[in-house]
Amino acid sequence: MLFGSPTIYAVDVITNITADTASVTTTQLRRIYSMRQVKWANGVPITIFVLSSTHTTHQKFCKETLHLFPYQLDRIWNKLTFSGMGIAPTVVKTEEELIKAVKSTTGAIGYIENIDEVSDVNLLKIDE
C-alpha cells in the first residue's frame, strides 16, 4: 500500500442526499474519482466537484484519502477530456462553493476540511 493505512481522515467526504449511501471504501472512492464508477448503487449518475489541484484540501484528500498524487488524477481527467472518452470533474474555487454545488446537484460528491457544521448533505464514513 502506498501511504500506509490511515483510519482518521482530516478531509471529510460529502454527497448529495440522492446518493443514498452512508459509507464508501477507499477503493470505491478511487474508482469514483478516477471516473471508473460513474453511477451510485441506486443508479443515480455521480457528479464530482473538486477544488483546484494546487489547493491544500485537494492535495490532502488525494494523498491521505485516495492514496493518489494530485497529478495522477489530473492526468486521468485530461486524458478523458481531450480524447472525448469521458468528462472531468467540475472544479470550484472554494469549499463553500463546493458544499453549495454538492447540496444542489443530484448524485454529487465532494470533500471538505475544517468545516464544523454542514447540513442537507450525507457525510460519508470511509472504510478501509
Nearer to other proteins, 31 or 60 (CB): 31
Q: Taking the complex as a whole, how short is the minimal distance between the CB of residue 56 and other proteins, in angstroms? A: 11
Nearer to other proteins, 116 or 128 (CB): 128
CA distance 77 to 66: 15
CA distance 90 to 48: 6
User: Which three-class secondary structure state does DSSP give residue 28?
Assistant: helix
Site for other proteins in 9-48 (CB under 8 A): 25, 27-28, 31, 34, 36-39, 41, 45, 47
Binding mask 78-97 for other proteins (x = CB under 8 A): xx-xxxxxxxx-x-x----x
What nine digits make up the cell of 102? Answer: 454538492
- Residue range at the interface with other proteins (CB under 8 A); choices 6-14, 63-71, 116-124: 63-71
Nearer to other proteins, 79 or 125 (CB): 79
| Residue ranges in the chain assigned as alpha helix (H) | 26-33, 56-60, 70-83, 95-104
Beta strands in 1-128 (DSSP E): 11-15, 23-25, 47-51, 90-92, 108-113, 122-123, 125-127
The residues binding other proteins (CB under 8 A) are: 1-2, 25, 27-28, 31, 34, 36-39, 41, 45, 47, 52-54, 67, 69, 71-72, 75, 78-79, 81-88, 90, 92, 97, 100-101, 104-108
